[in-house]
Amino acid sequence: MSEKIFVPPIKIQGIKTKLVPVIKQNISINKKTLWIEPFMGSGVVGFNIRPERAIFADINPHIINFYNSVKSGKINSEIVRVFLQEQGKNLAEFDEKYYYAVRERFNKTHNPLDFLFLNRSCFNGMIRFNKDYKFNVPYGHKPLRFSRAYITKIVNQVWYIEECLKIYDWRFICQSFENTIEISDKDSFIYCDPPYIGRHVDYYDSWDEDSEKRLCGILRNIEAKFMLSTWDYNNYRTNKYIDSIWNFCKKINHEHFYHLGAREINRHSMIEALLINYKL
């Protein structure tokens, strides 16, 4: 497998692709380590670290369902190719009407292939749900989205996961971060990438001060080593929690540029913080 950074098939806001090299340089694991991600999201960090044993957890059942479908063989790279070729033709012909038809279908059936299609054709690759837990991201207005090259790219991403699952003992679980961290022991390494407080909320990832404090309280008292990704500051604001509740951690900074805004003027660089509870 290549050492280049692998980008997962499911896109997530705030994906840590560009931070993977920095994270790799500062983690502390071996072949016996149980890698635990209580906030799997895209899974980009663990998928690139490639631990022998891992638990990837998230409260969003659709992310977990997708990867469990790959693990069980219900979905594979060839199935994805055929599906996206068919759906891509329909999108090219019927444009936004077809996108919204698939979105309505997914909200009834929760088909993981529909989830992949929506994730790759919605606005800005967002994953967002309304108060009724229905996917509600609008169309990305790219009817020719699924070109042959783009489909091949996604197919190769799914193939990578298939190959990893042949080699490594990886589990995908839908549950809370509290229950996931509870699994850890002194030989575990926990990588936490919670929603950034004050920056992004949806109905699967609601995150507030109470959530931040609960996570901090649990991590403060565990035997395992952990690393937590958060934001430190930008040109406008500073994360006050780093110097208050997280002050027992060592901080590693890295500048990162986010491309989440619809307009270029709204896209800014940010200083990220990796918080750790161990000596390097």
Q: Are strands 34-37 and 53-58 parallel, antiparallel or unpaired?
A: parallel
Distance CA 217, CA 159 (A): 39
What pTM value is reported for the model?
A: 0.92
Question: What is the radius of gyration, based on Cα positions, of the chain?
Answer: 19
| 261 pLDDT tier (thresholds 50, 70, 90) | very low
Dump pLDDT digits (tens) for 19-71: 999 999 999 899 999 999 999 999 999 999 999 999 999 999 999 999 999 99
Distance CA 268, CA 261 (A): 9
**Three-class secondary structure assignment of 233-261:** ECCCCECCCCCCCCCCCEEEEEEEECCCC
pLDDT reported for residue 203: 60
pLDDT reported for residue 265: 43
pLDDT reported for residue 141: 96
Provide the mean pLDDT of the chain. Answer: 92
Percentage of the chain beyond pLDDT 70 is: 92
Dump pLDDT digits (tens) for 192-216: 999 987 655 566 667 899 999 999 9
Dump pLDDT digits (tens) for 216-259: 999 999 999 999 999 998 888 899 999 999 999 999 998 765 54
pLDDT reported for residue 234: 85
Q: Please list the residues that pair with 35 across neighbouring strands.
A: 54, 189
pLDDT reported for residue 207: 86
- Say if residue 138's pLDDT is above 60: yes
pLDDT reported for residue 1: 45
- Say if residue 264's pLDDT is above 90: no
| 262 pLDDT tier (thresholds 50, 70, 90) | very low
Lowest-confidence region among 6-15, 97-106, 178-187, 191-200: 191-200
- Asked if 225 and 28 count as a contact pair (C-beta separation under 8 A), the reply is yes
pLDDT reported for residue 266: 46
